[in-house]
Amino acid sequence: MHNQIIDVPGVKVGNAENAHALTGCTAILFEGGAVAGVDVRGSAPGTRETDLLNPVNLVDKVHAICLSGGSAFGLDAASGVMQYLEEQDIGLDVGVAKVPIVPAAVLFDLPYGDPKVRPDRQMGYEAAKSAESERFLTGNFGAGCGATVGKLAGPAYCMKGGLGSASLRLENGVVIGAIVAVNPGGDVRDPGTGEILAGPYKDGELLDSIQLLQQNYRPTIPAGSNTTIGVVAVNAQLTKAEATKVAQMAQDGYARTIFPAHTMFDGDTIFVAATGGERVPVDVIGGLAAKVMAEAIVNAVKSAESATGIIAHKDLPKNQ
């Protein structure tokens, strides 16, 4: 167990990023196919193929999920993941071709590096090609490369977000894992202690985003300039409807760590992918998915590195 989503059998992860431009993408591969669902809670999402995951629609398996920076431009990275999978003869067999099913979600990281450089088809291809079932780097990698946290006091006072992951194993051998790119408008807190790990950082002090709201503060950041995007995977058997329910429950992991979550400024999205196996009650998987997602969010913030003048949790004076 690596305490990462790749502990789930049948899951591979690959990252690609441009550290200078502060943007990147993450490819989560399910080469054997996975039954998937999605839940979108934020009001400014950037997504692809989410309608396909509606339980009333036909296709029930995905072959990868792409998480990306670059705002809506970053949706192009999913085409590169599709290209790689097609070359591996992986996809939905439609007779004349195999069509890889690759849902995607993006976050907004344009202001903090080079806004003219975004994850594209080539970067998505590189991420998919590098995907392995081995431990991967978190923090300033993949979709978390340009992620930031705590912008309710203005973008100038944000801290560094990043890519995080976590997992747990049940006694019956079922593994639930999560991966997440953490880029919220609100602050991130330890769900056990309530400590603010990252948030608005002004004049050497961490501000409380909820207190800002209580002071009738009006956020000055543009809508859609944030967003936390993630994936939960499990080696159990789920229907599309059950996977969707697990995605809804996993959003509690956001609510336990991000204050506030699901705002008009965020496009918070969670995908769930079930690679198959034994039947496990949905409430068990969903309840633990929220726990694992919360742990992944904390991992993202704690593993992030300071970049271009944006301070990370580990570089706060109290952590030196």
Taking the chain (320 residues) in runs of 10, the rounded mean pLDDT of each run is: 96 97 98 96 90 93 97 97 98 95 96 94 98 97 97 91 98 96 96 96 92 80 82 97 98 96 91 96 97 98 96 90
pLDDT of residue 96: 96
53-77 as b/e: b if 16+ CB within 10 A: beeeeeebbbbbbbbbbbbebbbbb
Joined tokens for residue 81? 């993941």
Bridge partners (DSSP) of residue 14 are 27
Tokens 């502990």 label which residue? 7
pLDDT of residue 320: 67
Question: CB–CB of 27/81 below 8 Å?
Answer: yes
Q: Kindly tell me the burial class for residue 315, based on how many C-beta atoms sit within 10 Å of its own C-beta (0-12, 13-18, 19 or more).
A: middle
Q: Which of 187, 181, 189 is nearest to 152 (CA)?
A: 187
Domains recognised in the chain with CATH numbers? 5-319 (3.60.70.12)
pLDDT of residue 20: 94
Question: CB–CB of 124/73 below 8 Å?
Answer: no
pLDDT of residue 224: 65
186-206 as b/e: b if 16+ CB within 10 A: bbbbbbeeeebbbbbbeeeeb
Distance from C-alpha of 265 to C-alpha of 288, rounded to nearest angstrom:
27
Could you give the dihedral angle defined by the CA atoms of residues 145, 149, 154 and 156, in that order, rounded to the nearest 10 degrees? -50
